[in-house]
Structure 1
Amino acid sequence: MATAAADMALGSESPPEHFSEGKVSARDLAHIPGEAGPPLIGNTFRLLADPHAFARRMFETYGKVYKNRAFGSWHVALIGAEANELILMDRHRNFSSEQGWGPTLHKLFPRGLMLMDFDHHRIDRRALSIAFKPEPMRHYAGSLDAGIAREVWGWGGEMLFYPAIKQLTLDLAAESFLGIPFGPESAKINQAFVDMVQASVAPVRKPLPFTAMKRGVDGRAYLVDLFTRETHKRRAEGGGQDMFSQFANATREDGTLIPVDQVVDHMNFLMMAAHDTITSSATALVWKLAQHPEWQEKLRQEIVAITGGPDAAGEARGVSYDDLGKLDLTDMAFKESLRMIPPVPSLPRRALRSFEFRGYRIPAGAEVGFNVHLTHHMDEYWDAPFTFDPMRFTPEQVKNRHKYAWLPFGGGAHMCLGLHFAYMQVKILMAQLLQRYRIEIADGYAPEWQPWPIPKPKDGLKITLRPL
């Protein structure tokens, strides 16, 4: 298998070349194929209308390296597993996540872990990782199982799955992360996160009155106030098993507490990820299991074999923390749904030095990015890539595939810190759901999905939960 090293050669390993805070120009990228789009607006609206179709057309027209002008600047797309490895492994510290995400998220999620680089990222990631160690995770598992069982018990019949699971994941994040129920503030908190995510791809980038960006900035201000009060409260109270208490009292390598405003920024970002991206991922899996009842039944049988099935009163037995690793088919089906509908379809970076990839010189300062969704649907790595087939994720299949052909959780130093939490929550959800109901959809039903920034079915996903 070709490696990234065979296709690229970095420039000097000396300190990053200085570049202007301004954007690279068309002249800087004249040697790279691609499109500028219409004057002034570039390809912004073409990209927003259907980002997956736009990326595929550009890739099929120009190849694995192309340029595109959108949102007021030029971007260079690097496509394929080798490009993903080059950027994510970043052995020479050449790609800035902070400067890549910054133009999009700096007003909304500043100083979130995803927006940090190098040593700063490593230090804070290590401090925050305490919340994802085995004992806290075991505690979260019990809380998740109880909360999911309580909510799923009241489901059944025809329903819109996406808003129901979004509310549930928000409530679960409150219990696991904050250790408290949200109560009457729940709707306002949920709306704040919705507004912030939608603002991330708003064409108008300034928080002008009545714009999506203004709603996003206002949502952030509300959450900053809430989480600041909670951080001071957790520090005054001392220890706690919930994630927020552990973040609030986490120390860096030198023994100092993370500053309050930075704890708040981390919590803001992680809360968004813990309910928006898990909501998207769980909805994708439910959709695929509804489409493929044979796989739904395989998962149900696996779960019953491990839990023992419903108890004498007909109540679903939860899956224990120690048994989560035994749900192999559930794991494979989840991975396949993440392949088909990754929760973060593309990822940006900014080049700190000029570098070469596949014969093209990309200048320092260029905004570069890789496309997760496109990689997940490339014939080069996947047979029949638009077909749902969890058997792609047997150990043998995984071993024979490029490591960076599947990356719904990123990779390298920026691998999603909460990926095991996501797996745990979705497996617990499946254990409770599939022991109680058969997931059904109407014949020929195929909802349209909003593809970006976080995928979701536009109609909420109409399903029927038929009691077993």
Structure 2
Amino acid sequence: MATLAAHEPTIARPTHWKDENPTPADLAHIPGESGLPIVGNTFKMLADPPAFTRAMVEKYGRVYRNNAFGGNVVSLIGADANELVLFDRAKIFSSEQGWGPILDQLFPRGLMLMDFDHHRADRKALSIAFKPAPMRHYVGALNHGIDQRMDEWGAGDMRFYPAIKQLTLDLAADSFIGIPFGEESQKVNQAFVDMVQASVAPIRRPLPFTKLKKGVDGRAYLVDFFTKETERRRAEGGGQDMFSQFATATREDGELLPVDEVVDHMNFLMMAAHDTITSSATTLVYYLAKDQAWQDRLRDELRAIIGGEGRTLGYDELGQAELTEMAFKEALRMMPPVPTIPRRALESFEFGGYRIPAGTPVGVNPHFVHHDPEIWDSPETFDPMRFTREAEKARHKYAWVPFGGGAHMCLGLHFAYMQIKILMAHMLTRYRIDVAEGYAPEWQAWPIPQPKDGLRVTLKPLD
């Protein structure tokens, strides 16, 4: 049995997420509820995930049992739970087997669906795409693409979410894949939209006309596209875009990654890079539009860094945008792009006074912890000052986990910071972002947060 402090491997590890899970009787000692027959609490969760979690914590405490998406899950709530599961000192929590039931038909063999030595080897091979030389290349592409799009948007009313979603896809197609904006990128975008929406489809079989069927079809299109592109890049010797870096990446023994693995990694990373950044950029823009004082502070900082009109934010200047980074971190606290993180216990362990048996699907909840009044003062208030260095040091290290943690910490987090800072440098030095008084859009929480009305903002030209 494993605990927070000890690792005593006494139980054989399940080998795949489709292996038999503990029975309801095995988990009966953990408080919770099973919900309706067959569907459990799936629809109640999807209706309002944050409210559902709050209600469960209030009723059952910070360790509770729930039935959703066809099986029992034990939720572990709190910063200590985040550390136990994400840092995973004892290596008893499988990311592959946690995400497998949700993503295996859509994003198999992505980094998030790998564990331990295999994950470490592929992560190291893929990290070449985030070294300083490629990152400098991406900066140029991001500045060019964002500057051009700011002109196209112009002043006036707009729905920000679909606009930034198209922009991040076009930027990813340019920086990551090296294909120009156009019809091909539109097809790629639709495939990713279908795959992400399918990840939380209640019906988990790709039956005709279902969300999962659309997602599986989107994956088939992308597999064909990325397979042909991988073979072409290898034949041509690669390039500076991220896909070319992946296509020519090698493991420690000097062997190229198999083509099908390159394809699966590209599928997953493109989804992560474009959908999560779309969500987090939208959250930041909303809170800056609501808080004009902080919008002005970021504008003043970015103007001081880039100087005169027409200048861009360079790679070596990114670190100077400290207030912008703090505001982005606060937006990620308010609305983490991955609200919940699943794992599967490979051994039995103890937490919060309960024994959780081997094979149990478990989950931690960044959204709840990011709003926990035991950690954050006035947690529903947007306040980037929470992320001064002093404030960060005084807090539990796992109280803020929008990029995950431990071995599975998001590989592209520095790219996310870079893209957001460049976006703000162009947007805030050109426009004032405003929303109607009292405006508060309703948000769709899963699979990745987004405003249901697209986020209605007004861009006003600066004097």
For 1:390, the aligned partner's letter is P
Contact 1:8 1:358 in 2 (8 A): no
Q: What is the aligned counterpart of 1:12 among 2, 8, 14? A: 8
Contact 1:10 1:355 in 2 (8 A): no
- State the 4+ residue runs in structure 1 displaced beyond 3 angstroms: 7-11, 14-20
Q: CA deviation at 1:282?
A: 0.5
For 1:245, the aligned partner's letter is S
Contact 1:10 1:356 in 2 (8 A): no
Partner secondary structure for residue 152 of structure 2: coil
Q: CA deviation at 1:11?
A: 5.7
Partner secondary structure for residue 8 of structure 1: coil
Contact 1:13 1:92 in 2 (8 A): no
Q: CA deviation at 1:187?
A: 2.2
* Structure 1, unaligned runs of 5 or more: 311-315
Instruction: Write out aligned runs for 1:158-307 (5 A).
Output: 158-307=157-306
Partner secondary structure for residue 92 of structure 1: coil
Q: Deviations over 1:230-262 (max 9, x none)?
A: 000100000311111110000001110000000
Q: CA deviation at 1:318?
A: 1.1
Q: What's the counterpart of residue 33 of structure 2?
A: 35
Q: What's the counterpart of residue 422 of structure 2?
A: 428
Q: Deviations over 1:148-186 (max 9, x none)?
A: 001111212111111110000001001111122142122
Number of aligned positions between the proteins: 458
Contact 2:66 2:72 in 1 (8 A): yes
Query: 1:405 and 1:18 mapped to 2: Cα distance?
Result: 30
Identity, in percent, stands at 70
Q: Deviations over 1:379-412 (max 9, x none)?
A: 1110000000000000110000000000000010
Partner secondary structure for residue 153 of structure 1: helix
For 1:143, the aligned partner's letter is A
Q: What's the counterpart of residue 114 of structure 2?
A: 116
Query: 1:317 and 1:336 mapped to 2: Cα distance?
Result: 27
Q: What's the counterpart of residue 313 of structure 1?
A: none
Q: CA deviation at 1:13?
A: 2.7
For 1:128, the aligned partner's letter is L
Q: CA deviation at 1:72?
A: 1.3
Q: In the alignment, is residue 336 of structure 1 matched against residue 330 of structure 2?
A: yes
Q: CA deviation at 1:330?
A: 0.3
Instruction: Write out aligned runs for 1:99-178 (5 A).
Output: 99-155=97-153, 156-178=155-177
Q: Deviations over 1:178-217 (max 9, x none)?
A: 1221421222211111110111000000000000000000
Q: What's the counterpart of residue 67 of structure 2?
A: 69
Q: TM-score scaled to structure 2, two decimals?
A: 0.97
Contact 1:200 1:213 in 2 (8 A): yes
Q: What is the aligned counterpart of 1:350 among 344, 347, 354? A: 344
Contact 2:11 2:358 in 1 (8 A): no
Q: TM-score scaled to structure 1, two decimals?
A: 0.96
Q: CA deviation at 1:14?
A: 5.0
For 1:440, the aligned partner's letter is D
For 2:95, the aligned partner's letter is S
Query: 2:233 and 2:404 mapped to 1: Cα distance?
Result: 31
RMSD after superposition: 1.3
Q: CA deviation at 1:453?
A: 0.7
Further displaced range: 316-325 or 412-421: 316-325
Contact 1:67 1:75 in 2 (8 A): yes
Q: In the alignment, is residue 95 of structure 1 matched against residue 93 of structure 2?
A: yes
- Going from structure 1 to structure 2, the CA distance change for 1:210 and 1:18 (only over 3 Å counts) comes to closer
For 1:355, the aligned partner's letter is F
Q: What's the counterpart of residue 459 of structure 2?
A: 465
For 2:369, the aligned partner's letter is T
Q: Deviations over 1:397-428 (max 9, x none)?
A: 00000000000000100000000000000000
Query: 2:213 and 2:320 mapped to 1: Cα distance?
Result: 46
Q: Deviations over 1:19-69 (max 9, x none)?
A: 881222110001101111122221111011111100111111111100001
Q: What's the counterpart of residue 410 of structure 2?
A: 416
Contact 1:8 1:359 in 2 (8 A): no
Query: 2:10 and 2:237 mapped to 1: Cα distance?
Result: 45
